Structure 1
Amino acid sequence: MPDVRSICAIGLSGQLGLHGHLPWEGDQRPEFVADVARFFDITRGHVLIAGPKTIGAIPDFARGDRTLVVIRSHEDPEEVLSRFPDRVVYVGGGPPVWDVYARHIRHWDINRLPYDGPADRWFDPKWLVAG
């Protein structure tokens, strides 16, 4: 089984998304720019599995230095993860993906950003103890 991890950024109140995007998307303040750079640095050389929207949002410059895999809701998580023995696999996405994959995630890398605005997707602490 691979080393399964997740990396995400949340707002001050646990905000994750708004209308299908990061609520702070495009914010050019240093901490937001650094978070994006950190994501690409940490996932470099590893596998990133996520839904089609998340994988589709990966910019061209980052596509060649990580293995990107689109996952679908009908796929069995154990089967998906078994394709990557001895690899580090990052589970990206959001609530629908983490609801299914949380029990496999050994390490959560959560960066809290100084965003305190609206959201329609929230981080659920139950994912941290799923198992």
Structure 2
Amino acid sequence: MADVRAICAIGQSGQLGLNGHLPWEGYEGRPFVEDVERFFDITRGHVLIAGPTTIGAVPDFARRDRTLVVIRSHEDPEEVLARFSERVVFVGGGPRVWDVYARYIRHWDINRMPYDGVADRWFDPAWLIAGGTAPRR
């Protein structure tokens, strides 16, 4: 089975998204720039699976040094992950994806951002508890 991980940034109150984007998207302060740099550094050389919006947002420069895979709700997560056995797979994309994949995630890398504004998507701590409960082959 793949080594399944998640990497995400959350606001001070657990904010994840706003209107399909990061709530702080476009902020140019150093913590926000560093978070993006860190994401691309940590996922380099690995697999990133996510929904079409997240994968579509990956810039051209980052497409060359990681494997990007669009996942769909009708796909069996075990079958998706089995395609990448012996690889590190990062699960991205937010609540709808993590609701399905949290049970397979062995490590969560969460970066708390200096943002405490509005959001319409929130981090669910239950995902952390679900991790590692999937049957292992």
Question: What's the % identity of the aligned pairs?
Answer: 81
Q: Which amino acid aligns with 2:54?
A: T
List structure 1 runs of 4+ shifted beyond 3 angstroms.
Answer: none
The alignment covers a number of residue pairs equal to 131
For residues 93 and 18 of structure 2, what CA distance do their matches in structure 1 show? Answer: 13
State the 1:85 CA deviation.
Answer: 0.8
Q: Look up the match of 1:35.
A: 35
Cα shift readout 1:53-112 (whole Å, capped 9, x = no counterpart): 000000001001000000000000000000001000000000000000000000000000
TM-score normalised by the chain length of structure 2? 0.95
TM-score by length of 1: 0.99
1:31 deviates by 0.4
Q: What RMSD over aligned residues (CA atoms) do the two structures have, in Å? A: 0.3
Quick one: distance in 2 between partners of 1:92 and 1:23? 16
Which SS does the other structure have where 1:111 is aligned? strand
Give the match for residue 113 of structure 2: 113
Counterpart of 2:87, as a letter, is: R
Matches of 1:56 and 1:19, distance apart in 2: 15
Structure 1 unaligned segments of length 5 or more: list them: none
Once the two structures are superposed, the pairs formed by residues 1-131 of structure 1 within 5 Å of their partners are 1-130=1-130, 131=133
